[in-house]
Amino acid sequence: MMKVLYLKDYPSFGDFDQACFRNILAELTVDSPTIVEVGSWLGSGSTQILIEHVKRFRGRLHCVDTWEGSSSVPEHAELLATYDVYESFWENVRRAGGADRVEAHRMPSTIAAACFADRSVDMVFIDADHAYDCVRADILAWRRKVRLGGILCGHDCETRVTEANRDLLWKARNGDHIPGGPLFRDWHPGVILAVDEVFGGAARLWAEKGVTLPDGRHGPGTLWDLTST
């Protein structure tokens, strides 16, 4: 039988990103929100924070994932060879007390998007395959599912596209990450380019805004977000 990987073994969402995400969620003030997470993997990172929110506000969290890993991330295949990732996801959801608030959609992201009516979702969080074509397709498929005034956001956008970094990012767009700049060890070129292409400068980058942790440390995060208009 395949092993199950529990919460403590695989922290995938750092302190600053957790704080950014809580700040973004604080702006989602509706009761019984419908939230979609595109890319949940073990359910041990962003999923945990979303579960906190749907428990508190009696909402529903839809987790969309193939649970087959991203082709651009070799570590995903290694983990899949050893662990039952889908069962690990559910174990981590249960341990967070979210089993009755979470629904899993085990299918490719753009197919899952077709199951949701336009403007029917309060928040979509995108964190699936980070290759440029995939992020772009995810943003385009999911942005219209968000209701007016709702939130579209995502992970791993460490910087803006500039004349100085455009070529570097473009050459690396089909991979997961490259060595980053002064603020972050890694950059995710596909995310950075897709966010820039679809939204221009309209998306807020928490790399620029920064966030303060409960212990007083201040620093940048890698989330991006914008309000649907």
Candidates 221, 224, 219, 227; CA nearest to 190 is 224
What tokens were used for 125? Answer: 């969080």
For the bound state, the minimum distance from the C-beta of residue 67 to ligand SAM, rounded and expressed in Å, comes to 5
User: Residue 12 interacts with ligand SAM (CB under 6 A)?
Assistant: yes
**Quick check: 109 binds ligand SAM (CB under 6 A)?**
yes
DSSP summary character for residue 83: B
Binding-residue total with ligand SAM (CB under 6 A): 21
For ligand SAM, the binding residue among 19, 25, 128, 205 (CB under 6 A) is: 128
Cα 12 from Cα 21, distance rounded (Å): 13
Strands in 34-38's sheet, in edge-to-edge order, are 102-106, 60-65, 34-38, 121-126, 146-154, 224-227, 204-205
Residue type, 200: G
Contacts of 135 (CB under 8 A, 6+ apart): 126, 128, 129, 154, 190, 191, 193, 194, 195
Query: Is the CB of 40 or the CB of 159 nearer to ligand SAM?
Result: 40
Nearer to ligand SAM, 96 or 128 (CB): 128
Q: Which stretch binds ligand SAM (CB under 6 A): 116-124, 125-133, 143-151, 185-193?
A: 125-133
Which residues are registered as beta bridge partners of 64? 38, 105
Q: Which is nearer to ligand SAM, 67 or 184 (CB)?
A: 67
**β-bridge partners, 186:** 179
122 part of the interface to ligand SAM, by CB under 6 A:
no
Instruction: Using CB under 6 A, pick the residue from 20, 24, 34, 41 that binds ligand SAM.
Output: 41
List Cβ neighbours of 76 (8 Å cut-off, separation of 6 or more).
41, 68, 69, 70
The 79-108 contact track toward ligand SAM, x by CB under 6 A, reads -----------------------------x
Interaction of residue 68 with ligand SAM, rule CB under 6 A: yes
Strand duo 60-65 + 34-38: pairing: parallel
Residue 141 interacting with ligand SAM (CB under 6 A)? no
What amino acid is encoded at 50 in this protein?
A: L
For ligand SAM, the binding residue among 25, 35, 36, 45 (CB under 6 A) is: 45
Chain contacts with ligand SAM (rule: CB under 6 A): 12-13, 39-41, 44-46, 64-70, 108-109, 127-129, 134
